Amino acid sequence: MTPYRVVQWATGTIGARSLRAVIEHPDLCLTGLYVHSPGKVGRDAGELCGAEATGVTATHDMERVLALGADCVLYMPLVCDVDEVCRLLESGANVVTTRGEFHHPESMDPVVRERVENACGRGGTSIHSTGSSPGFITEAVPLVLTSIARRLDSLAIDEYADLSRRPSPELLFGVMGFGATPAAFDEARLSHARTSFGPSLRLVAEALSLHLDFLEATGELATARRRTRIAAGELAAGTVAAQRLTVTGLHAGRPLLSFRATWFCTTDLEPAWDLHDTGWHISVEGDAPLDVTLRLPVPLERMAEISPSYTANRAVNAVPLVCAAAPGIRTTPDLPQITATLRRTTAHLAAD
């Protein structure tokens, strides 16, 4: 089989992990690398992700990327630029992205959706959003679990993330609002939860022919009981040390699907919360009830090193399916189940 020619777009935490996965993938060929930082331009792709030299150097020139004629672009910037996305799709490059804007076309801004779908039509290409959360846990797993049901009363997903060893002050303090006073939290956080996870809930409900009437978003906060040192810095007593965001989709006046994220930086909280190890818990009620826990068996001190793989790998594994898909915005139910093509490691070969 001819390898798919892939461009990696951006090399942040997730992008760098994706880049390495492409380099090591037996059925993918790294064709180009787009970066935003001037300091990365001209450097070998392998150098930017801890792999061996590839001969592919990073560029900040979009025209060079478009001229490569890649089969797919793994699009992973901090902010989605619709103009960029449309130009890539129009050029004939399919797009797999860990950005959350394309999980559910009907939830998109109608103008943006039309632009993207028209670009797909002109380029004969498709685009797919995926990752670990949202994506794997909010779409792929619920669809698998409900495949043995004939009646669904409710499905609830709980996500837990202990961020105490995450050395990312910009993310924790700047983006997520840890260390702020409770009064500093506002509707913006609830809107973030609704727009980030609500589309996945709508997508799953529609795949099951159970359309949601509307979405509710609620939030709770807990503060640090005392001054607490975490990997990202320091939390003053009385500042936000845990947050819980819940999005619930209602059908026929009753909660049908829900996603609740509990993110915390310490377990010494006011008020005290029932906390669990980093991972997910899924509860299914209906004629085939299930209770499933997926725990990430990773030491906290290694979580920042390993956790990006959960998001990046699913996107990389989706490349062949997205390249083969019909033009348009393709969702999880639109695609076959994503199956990884794995390369045996040196350790495996030595064991043989």
Give me the residue spans of the domains in the chain: 4-129+309-351, 133-303
Q: How far apart are CA 247 and CA 201, in angstroms?
A: 9
**b/e per residue 339-349 (b: at least 16 CB within 10 A):** eeeeeeeeeee
For residue range 179-200, what is the model confidence (pLDDT) as tens digits? 999 887 766 666 777 788 999 9
Closest CA to 120 of 340, 329, 346: 329
Name the pLDDT band for 208 (thresholds 50, 70, 90): very high
- Name the least confident of 38-47, 64-73, 183-192, 252-261: 183-192
Which pLDDT does position 351 carry in this prediction?
47
Global confidence as pTM: 0.93
- How confident is the model over 337-342, as a mean pLDDT? 94
Which pLDDT does position 293 carry in this prediction?
98
Q: Output the DSSP codes for 202-243.
A: HHHHHHTT---SEEEEEEEEEEESS-EEETTEEE-TTSEEEE
Name the pLDDT band for 352 (thresholds 50, 70, 90): very low
Which pLDDT does position 347 carry in this prediction?
46
Name the pLDDT band for 346 (thresholds 50, 70, 90): low
Q: What is the dihedral of CA 181, 186, 189, 194, to 10 degrees?
A: 150
Neighbours of 195 (CB within 10 A): 15
For residue range 36-50, what is the model confidence (pLDDT) as tens digits? 999 999 999 999 999
In the 8-state DSSP scheme, what is residue 126?
E
Q: What is the 3-state composition of the chain as percent helix, strand, coil, each rounded to the nearest 5?
A: 35, 30, 35
Structure tokens at 30: 């790294």
Residue 212, pLDDT > 80, answer yes
Contacts of 218 (CB under 8 A, 6+ apart): 190, 245, 246, 248
Which pLDDT does position 344 carry in this prediction?
65
Which pLDDT does position 241 carry in this prediction?
96
Q: What are phi and psi of 180, to 5 degrees?
A: -90, 165
Burial class (CB in 10 A: 0-12, 13-18, 19+), 140: buried
CATH of 4-129+309-351, picked from 3.40.50.720, 2.60.40.10, 3.30.565.10, 3.30.420.40, is 3.40.50.720
Name the E strands within the chain. Answer: 4-9, 28-34, 58-59, 72-75, 94-97, 126-129, 152-162, 214-224, 228-230, 233-235, 240-251, 254-264, 269-270, 279-286, 290-295, 328-329
- Could you tell me the strand order of the sheet in which 269-270 lies? 269-270, 214-224, 240-251, 254-264, 152-162, 279-286, 290-295
- How confident is the model over 145-150, as a mean pLDDT? 98
| Cα separations in angstroms, 171 against 78, 79, 157 | 11, 14, 23
Residue 343, pLDDT > 80, answer no
Q: How far apart are CA 177 and CA 213, in angstroms?
A: 31
Name the E strands within 41-175. Answer: 58-59, 72-75, 94-97, 126-129, 152-162
Which pLDDT does position 348 carry in this prediction?
45
Q: What are phi and psi of 155, to 5 degrees?
A: -140, 120
- How confident is the model over 13-31, as a mean pLDDT? 96
